[in-house]
């Protein structure tokens, strides 16, 4: 079966690369992701930790990352220990400000890597706000004031702990112009 990949699918693969690059470097652990990208009707923030960040510029969208409490703690502890903090000084609950702040910082680094890759490959620039991280006990559906019909979910793991990335994007296609026509445009 042949699949016609949309731009959001290509973007999702670059997000996967950014997640693996940043989390592997910052946690010193192996990060895996499912080779199956899911098409979903809407993006939602789910318990235990939900994080969202809007992107706008040459392309626009919304990224949501949902962590189980165990995955958030695994990332937080590994991140802090790799920076030299002793384990006995770390927070012990995923709802603590230290954990949510660390998750926000890691997602910010992921966004920086992602935006760098897109700029390098497509010469398109976007900006993002500071990721917002919430400890949640119920699901929150995000309603976007735009026509973001393309939505994707990708599942990741750090050890046995799972987390998901959800991406909503405006209807867009990245179409590369032939290089021989580029000189005619100048």
Compute the half-sphere exposure of residue 110: CA atoms within 13 Å on the CB side of its CA.
Answer: 26
Domains, the chain, in order of start with CATH, read 7-185 (3.40.1550.10)
- Among 60-69, 99-108, 137-146, 176-185, whose mean pLDDT is lowest? 176-185
Beta carbons within 8 Å of 164's beta carbon, 6+ residues apart = 46, 65, 66, 153, 154, 155, 156
pLDDT digits (tens, 9 = 90+) for 71-99: 999 999 999 999 999 999 999 999 999 99
pLDDT band at 186 (very low <50, low <70, confident <90, very high): very low
């Amino acid at each position: 079966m042949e699949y016609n990949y949309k731009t959001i699918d290509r973007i999702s693969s670059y997000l996967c690369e950014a997640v693996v690059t940043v989390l592997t470097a910052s946690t010193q652990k192996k990060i895996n992701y499912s080779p199956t990208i899911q098409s979903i009707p809407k993006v939602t923030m789910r318990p235990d930790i939900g994080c969202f960040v809007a992107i706008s510029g040459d392309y626009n969208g919304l990224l949501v990352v949902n962590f189980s409490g165990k995955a958030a703690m695994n990332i937080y502890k590994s991140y802090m220990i790799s920076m030299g903090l002793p384990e006995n000084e770390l927070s012990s609950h995923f709802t603590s400000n230290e954990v949510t702040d660390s998750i926000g910082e890691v997602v910010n680094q992921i966004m920086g890597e992602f935006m760098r890759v897109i700029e390098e490959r497509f010469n398109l620039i976007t900006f993002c706000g500071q990721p917002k991280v919430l400890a949640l006990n119920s699901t929150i559906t995000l309603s976007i004031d735009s026509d973001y019909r393309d939505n994707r979910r990708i599942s990741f793991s750090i050890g046995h702990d799972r987390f998901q990335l959800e991406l909503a994007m405006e209807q867009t296609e990245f179409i590369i112009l032939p290089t021989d026509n580029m000189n005619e445009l100048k």
